[in-house]
Homo-oligomer: A and B are copies of this chain.
Amino acid sequence: MSEFVVDPRRNEDTITIFERTRAGRRAFAAPETDVPEVAVEDVLPAALVRESPAQLPEVSEPEIVRHYTTLSSKNFHLDEGFYPLGSCTMKHNPKLHERVAALPGHARLHPLQDPEHAQGALDLMWRLQRALSEIAGLPHVSLQPSAGSHGELAGLLLTRAYHEDRGERRTKVLTPDTSHGTNPATVTMAGYEVVKVATAEDGGVDLDDLREKATDDVACLMLTNPNTLGLFDRNIEEIASIVHDAGATLYYDGANLNAVMGIARPGDMGFDIVHFNLHKTFTQPHGGGGPGAGPIAVSDRIEPFLPVPQVVRVEGDNGCGPRFDLDSDRPKSIGKLRGFQGNFGVFVRSYAYILSLGGDGLREASEVAVLNANYLKARLAEPGVAEYLPVAFDRTCMHEFVLSGRGARDELGVKTLDLAKRLLDHGVHPPTVYFPLLVEEALMIEPTETETKERLDHFADAVRSILEEAREDPEIARNAPYTTPVRRLDEAGAAKRPVVRQGMGENPGDPERAGRSDGESSGAL
């Protein structure tokens, strides 16, 4: 049966909201003008006035709703199925969090409201700080950074301020070759030079290489533990002492904190600075690329340099309870990383999560995350799979693990990319691919604790069936996917001749556009 018979809509092109414009349509109605109708020209110098209006869409409410609803249905999402995207901790996003974040007392609170009328918000931030401090095992917290990499930057700016305060100039920052791209990028932005540290046989930091490179011009070692291979570095204490002996700070990239909550704490491992990804470990929904929040926890020696403002708790005198305030009077502070108090809406969700799970629940989350990862690792170590996708470092993993697609590529001619694309046809999100870089054809798999055994089994079965299928006919995987709204896209072409915005006709109702839209009326809805 011809593809057209099977889905007449398949031949259609998607169109943008701008292309739905018809001059005169509108979704907005302005509130009544209840003041004198001064003309813009009368109060603004002509030179400052826009000549022709911005070419925004002209579409009625029903069609805006349909446009974005239809677009949404082209996204794979966490509420649809398994999403084992390594390093991203795609755990369930509880619906309660959206409800409490939407309470007017939270959602409609102005960031510059006097602290005396924002006591609930400040108390919430204070409680979240205390909870994160306890989880990290470090005494002081700033919630300000906007995401993980913003937290990394804060960490290095704090390190610089700390050393400068001691009259030291340090120029280098060490990062393992397994580190996430944001680490080296942050180093450069913070004005340091990156020095790579090698990885040892067992997947941990190569201690000899570290000793060699931990010179007195090194400001910091940025580490992820468990690291991006999903392995806990057994030598963490040794590493800490080497770094501290060199007078450098030890930075903890918290992206993998989901493995160790309530089990081991970065502070107890010797880390000076930790960032949290509230949008990973603490269930802020990812939103297709944000928002997130990257609070940091630090040791006493780093505390004086924390960004402003800091939430402070003022004990209530004569019987009345404590008050909360914002303190910006911190002479040694590195200043501000962003406006206002940070991504408060994210704090609300994460604090609700901590209340829901409690101390025991957080520990259980980490235990189950590690259990699920090791079970899936075991399922993928079965014959029929392991030959093609050997695990990169064969150790008990923590919350995630990394396979190498070398075998599949060499023996079946199916690259990791092909495997990932074919997985799309099985209704699951592929793992993180081609990272970490030191693993050839890497597949980085993080199931998280909120998945069922059935989901893990289904994924393992899907991988197995794809490999079986590839033994028969590797072309099937090489040309996958088949069931998605679009199939493989020309990324090279997109980068060579970038089209990064909608072309606009002379005016929204113009022929070119109309042309587009006849296209539409013949089907592209």
Contacts and interface: CB of A to CB of B under 8 A. Distances in A.
A483 B10 CA distance: 10
Contact of A9 (B1, B9, B483): B483
Contact of A525 (B6, B95, B427): B427
Task: Report the copy number of this chain in the oligomer.
Answer: 2
B94 A66 contact: no
Nearest to A3: B6
B454 A521 contact: yes
Interface in A446-492: 450-455, 457-458, 461-462, 465, 476, 482-483
A300 interface: no
Given A65-B92, A461-B523, A523-B461, A450 B9 contact: no
A98 to B, nearest CB: 12
Interface magnitude class on chain A? 35 or more
A482 B1 contact: yes
Nearest to A451: B62
A522 B6 contact: no
A8 interface: yes
Contact of A461 (B5, B461, B522): B522
A179 to B, nearest CB: 31
A148 to B, nearest CB: 24
Given A79-B66, A427-B9, A483-B7, A458 B521 contact: yes
Given A9-B426, A521-B454, A525-B458, A92 B482 contact: no
A483 B1 CA distance: 12
Nearest to A455: B525
A280 to B, nearest CB: 16
Given A8-B426, A62-B450, 15 more contacts: A1-B482, A6-B482, A7-B483, A8-B425, A8-B427, A8-B462, A61-B92, A61-B94, A62-B92, A65-B92, A65-B95, A66-B81, A69-B80, A81-B525, A426-B523
Which 6 A/B pairs are nearest by Cβ-Cβ distance?
Answer: A62-B92, A457-B521, A454-B521, A69-B79, A7-B483, A62-B450
